[in-house]
Every structure is written in C-alpha cells, then in structure tokens.
Amino acid sequence: MAISLRKPGPTQHGERVAIVAPGSHPPLQELKAGMQRLEKAGLIPENRVGADQYGYLSGRDADRVNALNRALTSPDLKTIFCARGGFGTTRILDRVDFAALAASPKLIVGYSDITALQLGALSVAAVPSLSAAMVAVDWPAIAEPEAGLILSILNGTADTGIYGESGIAMKPARAGAVTGPLVGGNLTMVCRLIGTPYLPDLSECILFLEEVGEAPYRIDGLFSQLHLSGILEKIGGLVLGAFTDAAAKPGQASLELDDVLAHWVDVAGVPAASGLPYGHISPKQPIPIGVEAELVVHQGDASLRATEQLTIRL
C-alpha cells in the first residue's frame, strides 16, 4: 500500500534546524556537545529544549508540546532534531499540531520514544521522518560516515547505506521479496499506538523493529500484541534490528531471544531478515520512515533498500 507523502524540501548546508525534547530531559553537557557537532557538520541548531526538568520528563507536558508546536509552525524550518528519547512522548501526542506539520512538512529526526511522534506524523499528516541519531545521545561522538549519511538523506542526495545500489546487507530469516512503505521503529512504541489514530495502517508495509532493555518474555508479549491485533499478518515484510540488553535475569527460566524472534517470523509468514544495524547501538543505520523500499531475502543473503528519497527535488 503506497503512501501519498507530504515531503519537505531538502535541508541544505547552513540552514537552521530546531532541537526539541518531547520525552525525557537530555543531559545538558551532552546536548551542548551534540549541538556543536551539528554546527561542525554545517547546520545551525536552535535549542528549544526547556531548562526545567520534571521528573523523568523534559518539563511539564504543556511546555514540551508548546516547544514542539512552535517548531512545527515555523515556516522556514525543514528539519527538527530530537535531543533524546526516554519517556513521555505519548503523553503529548494528542496535542501535537499535526495540521501545521501537514501544511509545512518537516522531517523529525530521532528514534526510541520518538517513534510515537514519527508514526503519528505519518498517520495523521502523511509526513515521513528519519529514525536516526539524537543530539544529546549520539551526536557528541558520532562518526563521520553516519553524520554524513544523515545529512545526505536530509538534503535528498543519499546514495550510500540504505540508499546505496545494493542497500543494507542483513541475515536471511524467511525467503522472499517485497516492496512497500518502510515503517517502524521501537517495538514498544509501535505496540503502544495500537488502537489509536497515531499508528499508520501497516498493511503491506515493510515493518522494521528494534528494542532495548526488554527480556525475552517481554519481547514475546509485544509481538503477541502485534499478532492478536491482526497487524503481524497484514504486513508485507519484517526487518529486525538490534534487540539490546535483552538477557533474562540470572536464574530466571527463559526462552532464548533468537527463539522468540524466530517464532514470530514464522507466524508473520512474510519475507523477513535480521541483523539490521539499527537501534540502541552506535554506529546505527539511519532509516527513513514512510518511503517506498524493497526487501529481498534469499536463502543465503538479504538486503533492504529505500527506493524513494525523504525530500522533494527542488
């Protein structure tokens, strides 16, 4: 099922980008270092992260959503970088100005908890996003190849990585080939949006997933929710990224994570691959959300390639 996307123009060298924190509060020293790295890469970051931390949140709900909405309504911005993920994005999702985003499309860059905002942008406003490095988490020590690929995706000139001729190499899990919109992100956040207006229709999509800090039984339960809601059987393909810090507690009876994932690959019954270098790892592959892609899985190899840029051509 193709998605008729509303895309922004390319973000060029020397342009302004907004920095927001819709979830948890970022460490301020790391935020400063990440912004300096963005400046070195040729962008002009504007810090719109509130100074007042509220528990595990980056300020009160009203303050966080107001800062985000001001960025969404800025007509000269084409890209919004998130400072970190953490927790709290879903608390403000129903107050995000998606109408402003649809009227003036902007690419939201982030991952983890930010998945909720990105999927909401796709579902409500038909605006794609980039699941990639965050300012206070990854950018302080980001490697040049990863930073360069992010910038080339934002300006619509990417021709390496997932935009390379051969795409990204992975491990085969279930043979087959499929084309469709590339949609996904953090597994927990995808599941939390089930039954809400903020989860796009995943029918015939290539669903990519990652997770962090969840034991095998928790991951099993999340996939069960995708299955019981009818989503897993509707997708066109499945791509598994990094599932980090997923060991069971010592002495706890548990299935192996690989066994859990293999079970749900079989249940989905669609072309599937694992080993996507994406998730709570460094370096990570930037993954566009919403664009057309192709997943090709043979018995001995697999590849994922985006066939559509995130920005419009000027």
What is the residue range of 183's domain?
161-306
Q: Torsions phi, psi of 80, nearest 5?
A: -120, 120
Instruction: Give the separation between CA 23 and CA 92, rounded to whole angstroms.
Output: 9
**221 and 286, same domain (yes or no):** yes
Query: How many domains, in total, are found in the chain?
Result: 2
What are the structure tokens assigned to 305, written together?
């390639």
Instruction: Give the separation between CA 139 and CA 41, rounded to whole angstroms.
Output: 10
Residue bearing tokens 């080339």: 152
Final residue in a domain of this structure, among 95, 121, 154: 154
**136 and 180, same domain (yes or no):** no
Q: What is the CATH number of the domain that holds 112?
A: 3.40.50.10740
**111 and 61, same domain (yes or no):** yes
The confidence band for 2, taking pLDDT boundaries of 50, 70 and 90, is low
Mean pLDDT of 40-55: 94
**35 and 117, same domain (yes or no):** yes
Instruction: Give the separation between CA 244 and CA 238, rounded to whole angstroms.
Output: 18
226 contacts: CB under 8 Å, gap ≥ 6:
190, 191, 194, 232, 264
Are 298 and 165 in contact, with CB atoms under 8 Å apart? no
Q: Would you state the pLDDT for residue 314?
A: 66
**65 and 170, same domain (yes or no):** no
**150 and 22, same domain (yes or no):** yes
- 161-206: per-residue pLDDT in tens? 999 999 999 999 999 999 999 999 999 999 999 999 999 999 999 9
**212 and 131, same domain (yes or no):** no
Domain assignment present for 116: yes
Answer yes or no: pTM beyond 0.85: yes
Final residue in a domain of this structure, among 154, 170, 201: 154
Domain assignment present for 4: no
- 221-244: per-residue pLDDT in tens? 999 999 999 999 999 999 999 999
**199 and 95, same domain (yes or no):** no
Are 136 and 108 in contact, with CB atoms under 8 Å apart? no
- 113-170: per-residue pLDDT in tens? 999 999 999 999 999 999 999 999 999 999 999 999 999 999 999 999 999 999 999 9
Q: Would you state the pLDDT for residue 24?
A: 97
Determine the residue type at 126.
Answer: A
